[in-house]
Amino acid sequence: MRLLVSDLGEEGLLEQISAIFADKASRLTVPIGDDAAVFDCPPGTQQVWTTDLILEGVHFQRPWLTPAELGRKSLAVNLSDLAAMGARPGCALLSMALPPDTQVEYVTDFCRGFSAMAGEVDMPVAGGDTCRADRGLMVSVTAGGTVPVGGALLRSGASEGEIIYVSGFPGSAAAGMRLIEAGRSEEFPGLRKAFIAPRPRLDVGRSLAALGVGAGIDISDGIAADLRHICRESGVGAEVRREQLPVSSELKRACALRGWLPGDLALGGGEDYELLFTAREALTDRVARLSGELGVPLTRIGRVTGAAAGVVMMDGSGAGTAMPLKGYDHFRKDG
């Protein structure tokens, strides 16, 4: 018979969780075990903080991924926010609300996945909390990092005439999720991995910030929605060329099989956690060089325009139409 969290109790559960994260606490002045953690910040830096809430039935279904995969992804999506700011990871906080009938093994496997992701980026876990949930698992992650003073990459830095770039292959994660739902994901392991195990572009983000690019954001809700965030914060418009959206060979095959349009997945699918950024034309060669050095595709997909032009999708003939409002929104009603 497997042990449940109700059998172990909160104190016993916290002891098991703390033991998993103990080896990640060496960089903390006061680690897990006190009322709060204490940590040092490097001289000449500013703190950067982000938080995300992940709910069973809203963001994931348990059959989709193992507890370790869910733990890894829970931290990865927060690290992606740090990447978008050009930050270096500092420390993380993890809180969980658990139904009493949750198996202890599920929780410890989740924490091992979370710890593995933290270990990949040398990030200590500074603490957290647990409580009872009436139904469904809820995970709250807060991640902190640092940037040089005045060196954060912001959404508000885009200027008219700059080039719009995207990293990786947006749309892959949305395709992966659809394939998982359809029971076909094993045929497309790269797309499944894009959804299950997104790779936060921390090196890319820091390099772009150091390069002096204009604006940046991570793609959590799809290119259409997240580009609008940049345009709104920067007071600009944008043109995106559909034919320039990068599409992997695996995504092409999946779309051909399932009758999907890869451009629609990239624009509105979300969950990619790639970086969308703008850069001056003069930086074109340096962006290309950076792409080669890091081994990450950085693809030119459009240009920043004046605010009056709005956000426009250009087709192959050069005709433009207003980009439809796409992207995930927790509160918008369908239809």
Q: What is the pLDDT of residue 330?
A: 46
Q: Is residue 154 a contact partner of residue 230, using CB atoms and an 8 Å limit?
A: no
pLDDT value of position 320: 77
Identify the pLDDT of residue 256. 97
Backbone phi, psi, residue 126, to 5°: -90, -10
Q: Which amino acid is present at 216? A: G
The confidence score (pLDDT) of residue 135 equals 87
Alpha carbon distances (Å) from 56 to 32, 86, 136, 138, 307: 27, 30, 5, 6, 39
The label of the residue with tokens 């949930």 reads 133
CA 296/CA 292 separation, integer angstroms: 7
What would you report as the CA-atom Rg of the chain, rounded to the nearest whole angstrom? 21
Which CATH code, of 3.90.650.10, 3.40.140.80, 3.20.20.450, 3.30.420.40, is assigned to 155-322? 3.90.650.10
- CA 81 to CA 101: how far, in whole Å? 33
Domain boundaries, the chain: 11-148, 155-322
Cβ atoms 285, 292 nearer than 8 A:
no
Q: What are the helix (H) ranges across the chain?
A: 5-21, 67-84, 104-120, 172-182, 189-196, 202-211, 223-234, 249-258, 262-268, 284-294
Q: Which fold has domain 11-148?
A: 60s Ribosomal Protein L30; Chain: A; (3.30.1330)
Tell me how far apart the alpha carbons of residues 236 and 136 are, in angstroms, rounded to a whole number.
41
SS3 3: coil
Q: How confident is the model at residue 26 (pLDDT cuts 50, 70, 90)?
A: low
Give the pLDDT of residue 58.
Answer: 86
Tell me the pLDDT tens digit for each residue of 208-230.
Answer: 999 999 999 999 999 999 999 99
Give the residue with greater pLDDT, 320 vs 241. 241
Q: What does pLDDT average to over the chain?
A: 93
pLDDT at 329 over 70: no
